[in-house]
Amino acid sequence: MTRIKAAICRAFNAPLTIEEVELAPPGPGEVEVALDAVAICGSDISYAEGAWGGDLPAVFGHEAAGRISAVGGGVRGLAPGDAVVVTMIRSCGTCPSCRTGRPVYCTSPPRTAPLTLTDGGALAQGLNCGAFAEAVVVDHSQVVRLAPEAAQALPMEAACLLACSVMTGIGAVVNTAGLRPGQNAVVIGAGGVGLNAIQGARIAGAARIIAIDTQPDKLDAALEFGATHGVLASDPAPWKQVRALTGGQGADAVFVTIGATRAYDQAPRYLARGGRLIMVGMPHSGDTASYEPVILAATGQGLVGTLMGDAIISQDIPWMVELYSQGRLKLDELVSGRWRLDQINEAIADTKAGHARRNVVVF
pLDDT by residue for the chain (363 residues), tens only, comes to 899 999 999 999 999 999 999 999 999 999 999 999 999 999 999 999 999 999 999 999 999 999 999 999 999 999 999 999 999 999 999 999 999 999 999 998 878 899 999 999 999 999 999 999 999 999 999 999 999 999 999 999 999 999 999 999 999 999 999 999 999 999 999 999 999 999 999 999 999 999 999 999 999 999 999 999 999 999 999 999 999 999 999 999 999 999 999 999 999 999 999 999 999 999 999 999 998 999 999 999 999 999 999 999 999 999 999 999 999 999 999 999 999 999 999 999 999 998 899 999 999
Residue 75 CA to residue 94 CA, distance in Å, equals 17
Do you know the residue count of the chain?
363
Q: Count the neighbouring beta carbons within 10 Å of the beta carbon of residue 306.
A: 19
Cis peptide before 181 (omega within 30 of 0): no
- In angstroms, the Cα distances linking 173 to 235, 294, 316 are 26, 26, 13
What's the pLDDT at 90? 96
Give me the helices (H) in 154-228, please: 156-159, 165-171, 192-204, 216-224
The DSSP line for 44-57 is HHHHHTTTT---SS
- In angstroms, the Cα distances linking 356 to 110, 284, 322 are 32, 21, 25
| DSSP assigned state of 295 | H
Residue 361 CA to residue 363 CA, distance in Å, equals 7
Residue 174 CA to residue 214 CA, distance in Å, equals 26
What's the pLDDT at 67? 98
Residue 209 CA to residue 254 CA, distance in Å, equals 10
Picking from 177, 186, 162, 208, the residue whose alpha carbon sits closest to that of residue 329 is 162
Q: List the beta strands (DSSP E) in the chain.
A: 2-8, 17-23, 30-39, 58-59, 64-71, 83-86, 115-117, 124-125, 135-139, 143-145, 184-188, 208-213, 229-232, 251-256, 271-279, 302-305, 337-339, 359-362
Phi/psi of residue 116, nearest 5 degrees: -140, 155
Strand partners, 5: 20
Domains and CATH numbers, the chain: 2-154+331-362 (3.90.180.10), 169-307 (3.40.50.720)
Instruction: Give the 3-state secondary structure of residue 225.
Output: coil
Residue 139 CA to residue 86 CA, distance in Å, equals 10
Q: Count the neighbouring beta carbons within 10 Å of the beta carbon of residue 7.
A: 27
